[in-house]
Every structure is written in C-alpha cells, then in structure tokens.
Amino acid sequence: MPRTAPRGGPQTRVKIAEAASPLFAERGFDDVTVAEIARAAGVSSVTVFKHFPRKEDLFFDRTIDAEELLRDAVRGRAEGVAAVDALRDALLAIADARAPLSGLAHGSPGFYRTVAESPALQARALEIAASLQAQLAAELAADARFEGDAVLLAAFLLQGYASVMVGTAKRLLAADLQTGPDGFAIATERETETIAADHRARIEALFAAIVEGVPARG
C-alpha cells in the first residue's frame, strides 16, 4: 500500500493504523478509545471513522489485504492452474515470508493475546471470516475457468484455514515469549521456526484434504 498519498488517502489510513498498534499492545483493545488513537495519529475522530468505520477494524487493519490476496489468487492464476492450487500457493507464500497476514510475523503472539482478551474482537473476527468466505465464493462462481462448487470450496478453505490459524495461535501463546521493540510479545526464533514449519505442513494437509478428501475410515 502506498504511503505517499495526499492527506485523507492511503497515507492517512496507514498513519492511523500505526498509531493504534502500540496503544493496543500496551493497554489492550478495550481500554483504548478512538479519540486517543486520533490524537496519537494527529487527526480527528471523524477522520479515523472515515477510514475505519468500526473500532475493531482499526485492529484488523489488514482485512483489505486478505480480500486482495484471495481475489488475486483466483483472477491472476496462470492458464491451466486450478483455483485451489493458486489459493494454496498464495497461502504458502505468505507463510514462507512470515507476512503479517500469515499469523507468523514477529508480533503475532501479542496480536493473538489481544484478540483472546476481547470479546468484541473475537466477534468481529468471525464476521470478517464469514465475509471473506462469501467474497471468495462469489469470486469463484464468477470465474469462467472454475467448474466446481464455489460455495463448498470457499467454506472448506476458509473454515479449514481458520482451524490452522487457531492451532498456530495456541502454540505461539504457549511458547516462551519475549517483548519486541513495538511492545508486542514475540516467540524465540527457534520456537517460531518449529511452529512455522508445522503451520506450513497443516496448510498443505488442508489442501490435500480438499482435493483428495478426508479418509472416512481410520
């Protein structure tokens, strides 16, 4: 996202999000007001709400990135590449890069802990997941190259990926944590590598189950 746009554009959105992050890390989500975030960002509360209609969206400020990731994976895949394979590769790529969306970035334990302590954030996370699922289903249904059941694939993928993320969150929160320069808790490098490898393996297992099916007999 560019950070050189005029006031009121993407630059302002980024500035507001960056002002909110340390406040949430230090005091938790529920104890920080929009007015305090606006003051820290040097803008008005009205400007904050223009970019983030709900306070929860200030915390989940990368929702747009998630929407773009799924959309670009479907629309931008090469000829002959199945949508499910493109989606798998996109999720594996952000995991390998330890991108914020992957849940493996250095501040992820603090992020997960803040969510765990806030019923409002938990509720909003469920809403965002449902919205992403609906958007992916619509994207697949509109894709002339996709011949499967768009609704089912989107449900299997988003619900399954949510399960992977919850498992990763629990492992990161159970790890020995240190405090990073931004105030968020971080896991040690060795623990992070182990958890990241398991996270990646579970993504691959998820897509294998979607493509090949889950064994009915064990």
- Among residues 20, 152, 139, 30, the alpha carbon closest in space to that of 86 is found at 139
Instruction: Name the average pLDDT for the chain.
Output: 89
- Count of residues in the chain: 218
**Residue 3 resides in a domain:** no
**Residue 150 resides in a domain:** yes
pLDDT score at 52: 94
In this prediction the pTM is 0.84
Residues 26, 134, single domain; the answer is no
2: pLDDT strictly greater than 50: no
Residues 102, 15, single domain; the answer is no
Residues 125, 75, single domain; the answer is yes
Confidence label for 209 from pLDDT (cuts 50, 70 and 90): very high
Residues 131, 116, single domain; the answer is yes
Residues 26, 133, single domain; the answer is no
**Residue 167 resides in a domain:** yes
DSSP at 53: S
What phi and psi, each to the nearest 5 degrees, are found at residue 40?
A: -65, -30
112: pLDDT strictly greater than 50: yes
Confidence label for 39 from pLDDT (cuts 50, 70 and 90): very high
List the CATH number of the domain containing 39.
1.10.10.60
pLDDT score at 186: 56
**Residue 177 resides in a domain:** yes
What phi and psi, each to the nearest 5 degrees, are found at residue 137?
A: -60, -45
Cβ within 8 Å of residue 146, ≥6 positions away: 74, 83, 140
Lowest mean pLDDT among 52-61, 96-105, 143-152, 176-185: 176-185
Residues 107, 38, single domain; the answer is no
pLDDT score at 7: 44
- 184 in Cβ contact with 111 (< 8 Å): yes
Q: What is the DSSP string of 126-149?
A: HHHHHHHHHHHHHHHHT-TT--S-
Residues 77, 161, single domain; the answer is yes
**Residue 2 resides in a domain:** no
Residues 75, 135, single domain; the answer is yes
Residues 66, 14, single domain; the answer is no
**Residue 217 resides in a domain:** no
- What is the span of the domain harbouring residue 26? 10-55
Residues 33, 134, single domain; the answer is no
Q: What total number of domains does the chain contain?
A: 2
Confidence label for 200 from pLDDT (cuts 50, 70 and 90): very high
**Residue 204 resides in a domain:** yes
Residues 163, 190, single domain; the answer is yes
Residues 152, 77, single domain; the answer is yes
Confidence label for 181 from pLDDT (cuts 50, 70 and 90): low
pLDDT score at 180: 58
Confidence label for 177 from pLDDT (cuts 50, 70 and 90): low
